Amino acid sequence: MQPRKNQNHEYYMNKCIELAKVAKLNGDSPVGSVLVLNGEIVGEGIEGGKTFKDITFHSEIEAVRNARKLLQTPDLSDCIMYTTHEPCIMCSYVLRHHQINTIIIGLASGDIGGFSSQYPLLKDETIKKWKKPPTLVFGILEEECKQLSL
């Protein structure tokens, strides 16, 4: 019997939550992300800006770096990104650059979010070199993701 699509989302979001807990224990923001290709995790990342004293160590960017290394390609258009928090503006640029078509999000980030802020790169259609905006699915295990920040 095939699991329902939402059950798959919950499975991968639970993995993100586990990663986010590691980031929190390290003293970083509690954010975790995975990239999935054909049902297999090909990249994962935890927030590490404070740990590495480098703002680019966001979980989504780390997941992309891991996937690029494993897959040996910058084209990640067949991958699905799962992340506990809406990607920030910086991460949104990276996700669009690598052509990620679907992003599954636990909860919105507000004024720094790549969709919900004044700079919605995740839905921008004016940048010619980018393909169409990705499909965004919000609210997967939202309550569990909120609990990470408590």
- What is the enclosing helix (H) or strand (E) of 143? helix 142-147
Helix (H, G, I), strand (E, B) or coil at 100: coil
DSSP type of residue 54: -
Helix (H, G, I), strand (E, B) or coil at 15: helix
8 A C-beta contact, residue 137 and residue 103? yes
Can 40 be counted among the known catalytic residues?
A: no
Helix axes 89-97, 59-71, angle to 10 degrees: 20
Q: Which of 10, 47, 60, 62 is catalytic?
A: 60
Q: Give me the active site residues, please.
A: 60
